[in-house]
Amino acid sequence: DAKTTQPPSMDCAEGRAANLPCNHSTISGNEYVYWYRQIHSQGPQYIIHGLKNNETNEMASLIITEDRKSSTLILPHATLRDTAVYYCIVRVARPSGSARQLTFGSGTQLTVLP
Amino acid sequence: NAGVTQTPKFQVLKTGQSMTLQCAQDMNHEYMSWYRQDPGMGLRLIHYSVGAGITDQGEVPNGYNVSRSTTEDFPLRLLSAAPSQTSVYFCASSSQTSGRAHPHEQFFGPGTRLTVL
C-alpha cells in the first residue's frame, strides 16, 4: 500500500469548511484513497473513498488531484462533533487476506473551535 | 442491525490471567479482524478471519488466540495477560459482497479498554 503523509494537527472554526490534506505520491493506478475518522475513545468510522474523480456524500467531499498524488477531505460546515483524528489510507482495489487490513498512520487531529 | 458489538467495554486483569474479548456482528460479513490501539498510536492488526473456520495472524499476534466457529462471532483470547497488552482493542468487520457498503469499508466496534496490572 502507498504511504500517506498528513499534517499532525489542524484547527477549524465551527461552521467553516475544514480542508484536510493528504499526500500519497507513490500511489498506484489501482489504489483507492479512503478516509476514516476516529472520535475520541470510539472505533474508527468510514467517511468516504475515491479512485480518480471527486466524490461527495452526506458527510464530506473528497478532491483528488489529477495526478492522484494528493487529495483533500472537505467537511463543508464543521461542527464541534467533527473534532476527531482523520486518517487518509491508500489501498488496492480488491485486497485479500491480511492485505484487507487498514493501515492507520498517525492521522490529522482536527479540532473544531467554537 | 446492531452492527459490531464488543464486550466487555472495560476490563482490568492481573498479570498472568487469561480472558476472552467478545466480538459479534449481525451484518453477515465474511471478514472480521482484531486491532489494538496504544495511546497516541494508530491501529495495529492482531488477527483476522476471512470466513468461518479460517483465521490468520496479523502484525502483532503474539500472546493472542482467535477462532471463528460462526460467521457472527470472532472472540479474541489473551492466554496469559501481560502489562504490555494494556491497550484498547477494536473489532472490525467488512464484506466483499455487501450490497450497500463499498467492499472495503470496515465497520468498527466501540472497543474494549483493557488494563493489565
Least confident of A14-23, A63-72, B47-56: B47-56
Q: CA of A66, closest CA in chain B: separation in Å? A: 23
Give the residue on B whose Cα is nearest the Cα of A48. B105
B92 Cα to chain A: minimum distance (Å):
9
Residue B110, min C-alpha distance to chain A (Å): 5
User: Residue B94's pLDDT band (boundaries 50, 70, 90)?
Assistant: confident
Are B91 and B33 spatial neighbours (Cβ–Cβ below 8 Å)?
yes
Q: What is the pLDDT of residue B99?
A: 46
From chain A, the residues in CB contact with B111 under 8 A are 41-43
Kindly state the average pLDDT of the residues B57-62: 92
Residue pLDDT, tens place only, A3-52: 899 999 999 999 999 999 999 999 988 888 999 999 988 999 999 999 99
CB pairs under 8 A between A and B: 63
Q: Please give the C-alpha separations between residue A21 and each of A87, A96, A103, B58, B100, in angstroms, as whole numbers.
A: 10, 28, 18, 29, 27
CA–CA dist B50, B90 (Å, integer):
17
